[in-house]
Amino acid sequence: MRIALIGDLHYHEADQTLGNWVEARDAFYKNMLHHFLSSEADLYISLGDLTNLGTKRELQEVYEIIHSYERRFHHVLGNHDTYTQPKKEIQKQTGQACYYSITMEDFILVFLDTTREMDVRNWGGWLDEEQLNWFEEVVQMSGSKPMLVFAHHPVHVTTTGSDREKRINRSFH
């Protein structure tokens, strides 16, 4: 299976009175998404910050472009995607749960929600108890199947810079 990944696109609203600027924005994002969604893959995943502020309009506009390609697309929430709307509203718009897993024949895909809801001041990642318990169950039930985990924020001390403030700092037990 081929998986195409994109992160931090930051699709943003545009002031419609700024004609040329709106056209340039539209051309940029349509071109970026065209290259991403035209690549040869079985699954297309956004690793968060698909939008700049997570407004209803931003989500609607970027998803119109994405849906025009009829691809298997999954959107992991990023902190910017959750700044202006409750997660329940985002779920209604995107048609996806905030966190979930997909069991394939040879492996398991896990999509985590490491974001805080509507909190511009604290953009750091975390997992609440409910999701952490769910994730531990998925890991235990996976047996020996390989698992690919997708999230916006890196787990503490797993990547360069992930030991800094505002990264996920919860340890799994």
**CA 33/CA 103 separation, integer angstroms:** 27
**CA 115/CA 127 separation, integer angstroms:** 8
β-pair partners for 6: 46
pLDDT for the residue numbered 19 = 76
In the chain the first and final C-alpha atoms are separated, in Å, by 31
**Mean pLDDT computed over 23-51:** 97
Of 65, 131, 54, 123, the closest CA to residue 93 belongs to 54
pLDDT range class, residue 172, cuts 50, 70, 90: very low
pLDDT at 173 over 90: no
Q: Which two tokens stand for residue 172?
A: 């799994």
Burial class (CB in 10 A: 0-12, 13-18, 19+), 16: exposed
pLDDT at 56 over 90: yes
pLDDT at 26 over 50: yes
Q: What is the CB neighbour count within 10 angstroms for residue 136?
A: 12
- State which H helix or E strand residue 28 sits in: helix 19-38
In tens, the pLDDT along 109-165 reads: 999 999 999 999 988 888 999 999 999 999 999 999 999 999 999 876 666 766 777
pLDDT for the residue numbered 28 = 97
**CA 133/CA 61 separation, integer angstroms:** 34
